[in-house]
Amino acid sequence: MPSELRLKRRVQFYETDAAGIVHFSWYFRYMEEAEHALWRASGMSISQPEAGIGWPRIAASCEFHRPLRFEDEFEIWIRVAAITEKTIRYECVMSKGDVKIATGSVTAVCVSKRQEPMKSTPIPPEIAARFQAPAGADAERK
C-alpha cells in the first residue's frame, strides 16, 4: 500500500493574493489535498460516515522557501512520517521542478464522532494496515 504520493497541480488565480503570489493559507490546503489523494490511492476515503470516525488536525506547520504564482505547475510530495495508536503525521514537500517551494507537516488524530464531545480513539486496524511509516517510526507507535 502507498505510504507516499506525488500530486501534480497548477496554481489557480483565486489562490493568489494582491501581490500575485499564492496566499500562505493555500499551502495548508495543498497538503490536505495531497493527503486525500494518498487515502484514495490506498483504496479509501478520509471521510467514511459509516465508520463514525473523523480526522481533525492537532498540529500543522509550513515553511515557505520560494513563492508560487498563477499558472505555475508544481508537485506536492506527501508521506506518512509516523503512525501512533491514535495519530497519523504526514510530511510534505512542495516543489517546482528542482526548486523547493515549501515544506510542511500535518498531524491528524482519529476521533469517534459517535459521542459528544468527540474523543480520540485508536485508529482502526484496517486503516492503519493501509499505511506504513518509514523504518524506525514504529518506535513512535504506542
How many whole angstroms separate alpha carbon 35 and alpha carbon 19?
A: 28
Among all chains, which residue has been given the C-alpha cell 493501509? 130
How many whole angstroms separate alpha carbon 106 and alpha carbon 82?
A: 11
Q: Is 17 assigned a catalytic role? A: yes
Q: And the C-alpha cell for 52?
A: 463514525
Catalytic residue among 17, 72, 98, 138: 17
CB 54 within 8 A of CB 86: no
User: What sign does the dihedral 28-68-75-134 (CA atoms) show?
Assistant: negative
Q: What residues are labeled active site?
A: 17
